[in-house]
Every structure is written in structure tokens, then in C-alpha cells.
Amino acid sequence: MLKIKNLSKKINENFSLTDISFEVPKGMIVGFVGANGAGKSSTLKCVINSFVPDSGSIVAFGMDVADHEEQVKQRIGYAAGAFEYFPQLKLSKIVRAYSDFYYKWNGALFNEYCAKFGLDTNKRISELSQGMKVKFALALALSHDAELYLFDEPTSGLDPIARDEVLTLFREIVSDGEKSILFSTHITSDLDKCADRIVYIDDGRIILDCGKDELLDSHAIVRGGADDEAIITQRAIAVKRNEFGFVALVRRGDLPANRYITEKPTVEDVMVFYNKELHEDKYNA
């Protein structure tokens, strides 16, 4: 569905995307996770050709994005957080203009999403809450029969109930095996609930790229006291110490057999401990 290979892009004097490679398979939800400023949004902007890569390739639906931009964009639904443009325009007027760009715009489907999300198209953008602006952006992206959806922080600003509704909707979208979703988020619990695959980016480089279940099953959280710390520290990805002892993230294959009680990590655990390993100097400063 989407293949990014050896993508590099200098964003500014202090930050670059470097050798980014990963895929979004058909019928899957891929969670794109990393700290703020890690390169998530910049990568998505390269995919839609808002940022022109310095090198590498981006192929969607078997077509080079740069060479077939219009054809590719007709088949991509894109939303970047809350809709903040044209604050004094009514939603109905924005929709009329937006729909002209897509050959397969489905007005009836858009109206269904408005009803589902509680959107009033007679309101102006400035009259919407942050959560409603997010829902409006999603409704636009979901209403032109796209096959690949790129969502940048799609649940930011939503309350827990609305977030759960959106994540359920994501699973419904990919349920036929023909559509895919790539979404970035800092709300890692969203990935625990709905992602099939996790791509972790740090400082413009891909650190992890694997199936979510494989990622979580292959790592373990270990807790212990001073007697165990030396052994675990040698084997751990990273260790956090507290007044009671330590907590560590360890690859299960590196653990001594049957010696420690372990817990299955969350996506947040993996991200936090890998981030600690990558930036250990900051933690020790």
C-alpha cells in the first residue's frame, strides 16, 4: 500500500530525517510513535509531497508519489489534528470547496459522519471546540473513498469516549482488508487498542519497526531490588531506579530462565525505555 525507502530530508539547520524506511501493508493500522519533534509529522508531509525529500523513494499503490501526485492524493485521506483553517467560514462552505478536489467525494457519507460526530455544518470553525475541529478534519478525510489514510495526531483534543469511538471506527475501516491507516500519536494507549504494527522514530531515524504483538511479546518489564540490579543492568535495554529498587525493560530472550517475575509492557513502556537508552546522557546530566 505504502513503501518508504531510504527517505532523507533536511528540515532545518538542526533537524533532518535520515534514511527512513518502512511499509504500510494493505489492511493494517500502523502506529507511528515518537517524542515531539522526532520526525513523525515531517515524514507524513513527505508522503503527501508537502515536503520534497532530498533522497529516497515513496511509493503508494505502486506509483511514485512525486511522479503521480494527483493520482495518489485522490486515493489518500489525510488529516492533521484539528481543522484550524478559515476560522470565520461555515463548515458547509468549506465542504463545498473541499469536495471539488475529489472525484469520488461522497456527500451522503460525509453527512453520516457529521451525524455520527455531532457536527453542525451551519457553525463556523471558530465556534467549534478543539475536539469538534478534530472530528471535522476526520469527516473530510473519510468521505472520498480513500484507500490509505494518513492521520497526524487524530485523537488529540478528543475526550476518552470520543477517542474510543474513533479508534473503533479505524478498526472498521480496515476490516475488509482493502484499506490501511498510518497514524502518528503521542497517546500510546491508542496504539495498544488498535494498531497492528508499530514504527518508532527518534531524532529523525527509525528505531523500531515490527508487529505490535511481536514487539510486546518479545520484551518484558522486570522489577527487583539491589541484589538483582547488577545482573539485570547488564541485560536491560534501560533501567529506572527508585527508592524500592529498579524497573527495567529487557528482551525476553536475554532473561535468565525462570528466575524473574515479569510483566508484559505497553507500547508506552517500550517507547519510554528505548528513549531512555537512546538519550542516557540527558538522564544522567
Give the dihedral sign, CA 52/54/59/63: positive
Query: Could you read off the pLDDT of 91-102 as tens digits, one per residue?
Result: 999 999 999 999
Query: Could you read off the pLDDT of 181-208 as tens digits, one per residue?
Result: 999 988 888 999 999 999 999 999 999 9
| Range 123-152 average pLDDT | 95
Cβ 172 vs Cβ 181: under 8 Å: no
| Range 158-162 average pLDDT | 88
Residue 285 has pLDDT above 70, yes or no: no
The 3-state secondary structure of 212-268 reads: HHHHHHCEEEEEECHHHHHHHHHHCCEEEEECCEEEEEEEHHHCCCCCCCEECCCHH
Query: Could you read off the pLDDT of 66-90 as tens digits, one per residue?
Result: 999 999 999 999 999 889 999 999 9
Cell triple for 251: 528482551
Residue 259 has pLDDT above 90, yes or no: no
Q: 70-79, 130-139, 209-218, 225-234 — which is least confidently predicted?
A: 225-234
| Range 4-21 average pLDDT | 96
Question: Domains (ranges, CATH) in the chain?
Answer: 2-215 (3.40.50.300), 218-284 (no CATH)
Residue 222 has pLDDT above 70, yes or no: yes
Predicted structure pTM score: 0.91
Residue 152 has pLDDT above 50, yes or no: yes
* HSE (side-chain half, CA atoms, 13 Å) at 165: 13
- Residue 258 pLDDT: 67
Cβ 200 vs Cβ 208: under 8 Å: yes
Across the chain, mean pLDDT equals 92
Cβ 132 vs Cβ 119: under 8 Å: yes
Task: Please report where in the chains the cell 528482551 appears, as a residue.
Answer: 251
| Range 120-127 average pLDDT | 96
pLDDT band at 284 (very low <50, low <70, confident <90, very high): very low
pLDDT band at 36 (very low <50, low <70, confident <90, very high): confident
